[in-house]
Every structure is written in structure tokens, then in C-alpha cells.
Amino acid sequence: MKQVSGNYLDALLQELAKLTFPLSYLSDAYSDVEAWQTEARAVVQKLLAYQAEAVPLDTQVLDQYEKDGLTYTLVSYASAFGPRTQGYLLRPAGVSGKLPAVLAMHDHGGFKYYGKEKLTYPKGHPVIMQEYKDQYYGGRAWACELARRGYMVFVPDMFLWGSRKVTADSVPEEYVQAVLAAPEGSREHINAYNDFAAEHEHLLAKTFIEAGLSWPGLMLADDMRAIDFLLTQPDADADNIGCGGLSGGGLRTVFLAAMDARVKCSVCVGFMSTSKEFAAYKVYTHTWMMYLPGLTNVLDFSDLYSLHGKKPTMVMYDTEDMLFTTKGQEDSNARLQQIYAKMGVPELYRGHFFPGPHKFDVEMQEVAFDFYDEFLKA
């Protein structure tokens, strides 16, 4: 099979074979989990090349209403880098007392016009978003379903999506002529914006690198900011914070669970493989937001997730997911099993394989919800 590295594939495979991942917990150098986490996180933080400045959240409530048994609160808060972030905070209506909280992380999907709407049913729910849910989420807004089970669920717009997206009127017209030509909010406008955003990614990635930043570093800072917001809610149970998401949301889960000790329980859906399989065979199926220069010299991608440590950790794999090789998924699952066994907590890692393509369908959602119940409602 031809690969994007072309006639350099053999040379690339030779270099990949040399990788030893010295900061992996599987290394003979490590036996104390907490000491390893401290050392490895410090190295990863340096690679991330971004530490957000401390700025006030300045939270604003933009709207609040009840719908389908849930209380929706639309909020915005200040970010250290770029425009304000908007998100939907969901609670079961009429429920009082402390609630376990989950940061529901939306995907990439080549769809940047909307973010938080992918996982919710807000007022004026766009038809195009229901079509999206039908394709990837079994027709459900899973953040709403989880909230109905007794959770506070927060769904913010991701860095560069929704309220955080690059606006069409802020870049040179030659990049966005099709966007500007279509009626605002129309299907043609939305599709044209998503096409622009896809082509614009490499320009942003190069810009961040040249500025001494990294896309994963900026992405992680946004998600840590969302945890900051959650913890300002008086009815959020600070000891029982979870996160999870599909695809780009799975990627965000890996970085957040690895680097933020406030996360107790996490579910990564449809985003796990080994670094070697990514590099050799599937680099073209993923966007710039996953690539952290230098990470592979110290950790395999699955090692990064294991920085979550002795905490409940779940990965859901789709057996016919074309974004990953079968070998990459199976090898990463085996590696995570080995790591958690060495930590002495093999029961805290759960790897599940589901038939079908890239998705987080109803069956998978229910398994994830049971996992949250087991560890966040204990």
C-alpha cells in the first residue's frame, strides 16, 4: 500500500524503530507513579510551549431556560488567548445538592462553524446539527442524556470552534470569498466556512509554531480553563470531575486527563493509537491539533494518556475506524493494559472495541455513562 511518505517510508520506519519512549512508565527507571507523573508532566508542559496567564474569568450568563427536563445556562468567560468562550452548562431541572460534573468535549469533524451545539439541543437547534448527530452520535445529544442521569455537564466551544472560531471578516477576503458570498447562517455559508477553516489550519499551525507556541498547548489551556469555570459552580462536586469525548474530543480528553490532576475519571472515544502507527500510516487522517513537536521522543501517544495515573481511564475503539490502523489500536490497548498493571491498578483501565466506523453511538454512550456512574457517583 502506498503511503504519504512515499519512497521514504522504509527510511521512516527505520527511524521509528529507534524510538524507546524513555519517559514511559513501562521504563525500568520508574516504579513510583506520583514521582513519574511529576517528572513526565514537567517535560510535556515544556513541550506544550504555552502557559496561560492568570486572568479573571469574568463569567457572564447570556441565557437560562428549561428544556426537556434540563436547565440550560449559556455562559461566556474570558480566555487568556483570543475571544471569549461560550458554553452550555446543563443540569437536571429541579435537582438540588452537589452534582458530579463532566466536561463534555465536542469533536473536530471538519466542522468548526459550530462547537457546543454538537452535543446539546439548545434553542433554535440547527437542522444541520441533527444530521451531524445522526452520523456520529446515534442521533443523540449525549451531553443532555448524561445530564439527565444526575450530572452537571459543561459543553464549551473548543479553541477555534464556535464562539472561539476565526471570524470570516477578520482574514483577507481572498480566503473567504465563498463564505462572504453566502447568506449568514445558511447551509451554504456554514459549509463554505468549514471548507475555509480546513484549508486555514496549516496556516494557523505554522503561525503558532513560529510564535513559539503549540496548538496542543493552546487547546489544553482552553480545556483547563473550562475546568476552572466548572469549579466556580457551588453545586459542582469538586472531588468528582470527569471528562470525555469523541475523536477530537477524545484527543482533548487525552491531554486534559494527562495534565490536569483535577480530573478524576475520563473516557477517550475514537482517538487512540501508537505514535509509530500514526507517523507511518495515518498522519494524513488527522489535523494539526494533535501534533506536539518532540513528544514522540519521550512518550508514545498511549503513554501520554497514562499520565492520568491511578484513576479510572477508559478508551473506546471502533474496529472499522479508518482514522487508525487496526494494529495501532490493538497495540495501544495492550500498552495501556501493561502500564496500568505495572501501576498495580489493572482494573482502572478499560479498553472496549465496538464494531463499526468512527462514532460514539448510543450503545457506546451507555457504557461510558455506566463508567462515570461507577466512579463519579461512588
The percent of residues above 90 in pLDDT, for the chain, comes to: 99
Q: Does 2 score more than 90 pLDDT?
A: no
Contact 317, 267 (CB under 8 A): no
Element (H, E) at 301: helix 301-306
What pTM value is reported for the model? 0.98
Residue-wise pLDDT tens digits, 93-143: 999 999 999 999 999 999 999 999 999 999 999 999 999 999 999 999 999
Residue-wise pLDDT tens digits, 10-21: 999 999 999 999
Mean pLDDT of 320-347: 98
Q: Does 270 score more than 90 pLDDT?
A: yes
155 DSSP β-pair partners: 88
**Cell representation of residue 210:** 513560529
CA distances from residue 40 to 223, 250, 264, 275, 329 in whole angstroms, order as listed: 20, 21, 19, 17, 23
Contact 81, 52 (CB under 8 A): yes
Question: How many C-beta atoms surround the C-beta of residue 105 within 10 A?
Answer: 31
Q: Does 378 score more than 80 pLDDT?
A: no
Q: How many CA atoms lie within 13 A of 340 on its CB side?
A: 24
Q: Which of 3.40.190.10, 3.40.50.1820, 1.10.1740.10, 3.90.1150.10 is the CATH number of 60-376? A: 3.40.50.1820
Residue 152 pLDDT class (50, 70, 90 cuts)? very high
Residue-wise pLDDT tens digits, 163-191: 999 999 999 999 999 999 999 999 999 99
Q: How many CA atoms lie within 13 A of 44 on its CB side?
A: 30
The percent of residues above 70 in pLDDT, for the chain, comes to: 100
Residue-wise pLDDT tens digits, 350-377: 999 999 999 999 999 999 999 999 999 9
The span from the CA of 21 to the CA of 29, in Å, is 12
Contact 257, 243 (CB under 8 A): yes
Question: How many C-beta atoms surround the C-beta of residue 163 within 10 A?
Answer: 18
pLDDT of residue 33: 98
pLDDT of residue 1: 64
